[in-house]
């Protein structure tokens, strides 16, 4: 089954404790992206990756890191989480961002709470 | 001004009604346009890509007006299962950055 998986699905952590949210897709997609969703603000792009070893900042990259060492994986790293990073996070992928009509497939989301 | 703006909603309509969602975008160089649907606490799912000439998929019709920087989604014969939040999405010229509208909530009632 074609899918994007994220782990963990739910996480409660404390300020400053480094964490990684994993994202994996089995569709051989080139493009992957991370978003956060907050009430009243909608989905905002954190980072995206056009292919292996190629990443760039979205609209809200502060406090986050990413890496793309393999095509299928795109982990999101919070080196020192803070309460303002409490949010619902989605990973997404698509075949190629140069194909105008390809939409993105989203993972199920990770609900993160930082206390 | 937000880069992508949608009707704030919510829209409350009876079953069988026709409902229209509107979306405007600020970057005239935007390249690709989409409508997604999101159910409560779930991931967004692609509903339709929006083609320059407009396109239809069953009860759903999407239109794009590049001159006015305006996108629309029309749902005919609304079903209870159409209740969800509808998200307007715009990708930039390079195709890498993606901007979501805040979404419009739809409630379809029996």
Which residues of chain B from 54 to 83 reach within 8 Å of chain A, CB to CB?
Answer: none
B57-98 residue pLDDT tens: 999 999 999 999 999 999 999 999 999 999 999 988 665 788
Residue A97 has pLDDT above 60, yes or no: no
Between CA B52 and CA A25 the distance in angstroms is 30
Q: Give residue-wise pLDDT tens across range B6-42.
A: 988 899 999 999 999 999 999 888 888 999 999 998 9
Report the phi/psi class of residue A53: left, alpha or beta, with left for phi > 0 and alpha for psi in -120 to 50.
Answer: left
CA angle, B61 as apex, B58 and B63 as ends, to 5°?
155
| Cross-chain Cβ contact B97/A45 below 8 Å | yes
The minimal CB distance from A100 to the residues B32, B98, B103 is found for: B32
DSSP A73: B
CA angle A43-A48-A49, nearest 5°? 155
3-state helix, strand, coil in chain B (%, to 5): 5, 55, 45
pLDDT for the residue A95: 83
Whether residue B2 lies within 8 A of chain A, CB to CB, comes out as: no
Model confidence pLDDT, tens digit, residues A18-41: 999 999 999 999 999 999 999 888
Nearest CA in chain A to B38: A106
Cβ under 8 Å to B: A residues 5-34: 31, 33
Residues of A in contact with B94 (CB under 8 A): 97
Between vectors from CA A28 to CA A24 and to CA A33, what angle results, nearest 5°? 50
Is B43 within 8 Å of A107 when comparing Cβ atoms? Answer: yes
> What are B106's strand-pairing partners?
B11, B84
Answer whether A51 touches B (CB < 8 Å): no
Inform me whether the C-beta atom of residue A50 falls under 8 Å from chain B C-beta atoms: yes
CA–CA separation, A90 vs A86, rounded Å?
Answer: 13
CB B79 within 8 A of CB B106: no
**Cβ <8 Å between A101 and B36:** no
Give the confidence band of A88 by pLDDT, cuts at 50, 70, 90.
very high
Give contacts of B 22-51 with A, CB under 8 A. Answer: 31-32, 34, 36, 41-46, 49, 51
A99 falls in which pLDDT band (50, 70, 90)? low
């Amino acid at each position: 089954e074609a899918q994007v998986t994220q782990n963990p699905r739910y996480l409660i952590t404390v300020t400053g404790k480094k964490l990684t949210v994993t994202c994996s897709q089995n569709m051989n997609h080139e493009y992957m992206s991370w978003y956060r969703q907050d009430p009243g603000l909608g989905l905002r792009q954190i980072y995206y990756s056009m292919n292996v070893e190629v990443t760039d900042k979205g609209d809200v990259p502060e406090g986050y890191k990413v890496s793309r060492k393999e095509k299928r994986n795109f982990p999101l790293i919070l080196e020192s989480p803070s309460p303002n990073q409490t949010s619902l996070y989605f990973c997404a992928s698509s075949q190629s961002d140069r194909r105008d009509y390809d939409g993105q497939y989203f993972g199920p989301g990770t609900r993160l709470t930082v206390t | 001004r937000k880069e992508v703006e949608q009707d704030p909603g919510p829209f409350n309509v009876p079953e069988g009604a026709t409902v229209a969602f509107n979306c405007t975008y600020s970057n005239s160089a935007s390249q690709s346009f989409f409508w997604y649907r999101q159910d409560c606490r779930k991931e967004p799912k692609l509903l339709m890509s929006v083609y320059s000439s407009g396109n239809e998929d069953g009860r759903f019709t999407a239109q794009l007006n590049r001159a006015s920087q305006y996108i629309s989604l029309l749902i005919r014969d609304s079903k209870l299962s159409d209740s969800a939040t509808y998200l307007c999405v715009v990708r930039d010229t390079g195709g890498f950055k993606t901007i979501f509208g805040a979404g419009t909530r739809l409630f379809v009632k029996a």
